Amino acid sequence: MSPLARMNNLTSRANVILANSLSVLAICTGMLFISTLHLPVEPKFDFKVNEAQLRYQPDHMSGRRDYLDLALLRYDLKIDMSDSFHWNVKMIFLYLVAEYTNEKNVVNQVVLWDKIVMRGDNPVVDLKNLRTKYYFFDDGNNMRGANTTLSLHWNVVPNAGLLPNIRGEKHISTVLPSDYNF
């Protein structure tokens, strides 16, 4: 078989078409990403703490007879993501973080609540008197009277591009009780 005949066979032509198609798709994906870099994803949100309790809880996980602090919060949370979805946003992962300091650790961060909002879902989250979805434990007895800051964070999952982790500008502070509620 001559070199010219090998160049023009069916598999060679299919390979050229596939390679060119993938190159065009990669360029289109890059242009999609670049075209949405300047578009911010900023959900409008508001939240407030209704009640904060502190309990002295046995530590069942370590096997020791230690006691841990467990904070129980009730809060209202309203998030409007109507303007946050554009054509390069597939979904938004929202989560509420509590942050406090104590003598043992300079920074303590605990996720209290999370939600995934897909494109096409209801873009408004309106929750009243919600309890924490996850346990708000301390690794000791250091939460009494702790000044706790709550802030909303979100990850934008795009169709193409970077996965930013964003912390909202708005946050609230609450002081945990100095006495235990049993």
Q: For 25-41, write each residue's pLDDT tens digit.
A: 999 888 888 887 777 77
Rounded Cα distance between 138 and 54, Å, is 11
pLDDT digit string (tens) for 148-181? 999 999 998 988 888 888 888 888 888 888 888 7
**Model confidence over 51-78: pLDDT tens digits?**
988 888 777 666 666 778 888 899 999 9
pLDDT surpasses 60 at 100: yes
Residue 6: per-residue pLDDT: 62
pLDDT tops 80 at residue 143: yes
Give this prediction's pTM.
Answer: 0.79
170 three-class SS: strand
From 5-14, 44-53, 143-152, the region with the lowest mean pLDDT: 5-14
Q: Which two tokens stand for residue 82?
A: 């109507």
List the strands of the sheet with 89-100, edge to edge. Answer: 108-118, 89-100, 147-158, 165-175
The sign of the CA dihedral 174, 176, 178, 182 is positive
CA-to-CA distance for 174 and 182, rounded, in angstroms?
20
pLDDT at position 112 is 93
